[in-house]
Amino acid sequence: MNEEFKQITKFTYPEKMKTFLKTLDLYRVVKLIINVMAVYAIIFLASMLAKEQIMVFDGSENLQEMKRVHDLGTTAKQGIRHYLQSRFNWTPENVKEAIKKSSFFIDPSSKQSFSGALENVEKFSVEKRVSQRIYPTEIAINWDKNSAYIKGDRITEIQGMKAAGELKLELLFDFGMATKENPWGIYIVQEREE
C-alpha cells in the first residue's frame, strides 16, 4: 500500500504543478492587462487636465461646446446675453416668467433690491399693457471692474403705441456657482442705465 501511495503522489504532483503554473500565468497576463489599462487612463486624464477646458451647457442641459478657460470673455458674453433676453424682453402676459428667469442671474446679496425694483415693472406692465424688447448690438467687457457695457436698441409698446430708443446699460457682475438655470455662473451685482 505504501508503494501505491508513492506511485499516485509521484504522478499527480507534476500534474498539480502544471495546473498551478498555468493559473499563475493567467494571473500574470491579467495583471499586465490591468497595468497597461491603468497607464493609459492616467495618460488620458493628464492630457485632459492639461487642456484646461470647461463644459458649457445651455438652459436645457445640453452640452453646447467645449470652451478654453482663456475664452472666458465669450462665455461671459453668452451669459449676459441670456440675462438681457430674460430681463428686458417681456410682454404683459409673460413679464412674471421673464423676471423669474432673470432672477437666476442675480447675485444673492442683491436679490432683495432686485425683487423690489422689478415688482414695480411687473405691476406697470400688467396695468398699462406695456411690453418691451431690446436688441443689444455691442457688449464690451471690462475685466478690471468686472463690468459689461451694453449698447443697443430698445422698443417699448404701451397700449399699442410703439416707441424706439437707445439702450445704454452697465452691468456689474461676478462669477459664482454654475446651475441648471444659470450654466454660465455669471451673477449680476448691479445694473446702471444711462
What are the pLDDT digits (tens) for 55-81?
555 555 554 544 444 467 777 888 899
Look at the domain 71-193 and name its fold: Nuclear Transport Factor 2; Chain: A, (3.10.450)
Whole-number pLDDT of residue 166 = 93
Residue with cell 470673455: 73
pLDDT for 76 equals 84
Q: Where are the domains of the chain?
A: 1-50, 71-193
d(CA 58, CA 61): 6
- 191 forms bridges with which residues in the sheet? 171
Which residues in the chain show pLDDT less than 50? Answer: 63, 65-70
Q: Report the C-alpha gap between 17 and 21 in whole angstroms.
A: 6
What single string gives the DSSP state of each residue in 95-163? Answer: HHHHHHHHHTTB-GGGHHHHHHHHHHHHHHHHHHTEEEEEEEEEEEEETTTTEEEEEEEEEEEETTEEE
64, β-bridge pairs: none
CB 131 within 8 A of CB 92: yes
Interior/surface letters 28-41, b for 16+ CB within 10 angstroms, e for the rest: eeeeeeeeeeeeee
Statement: the pTM of the whole predicted model exceeds 0.75? no
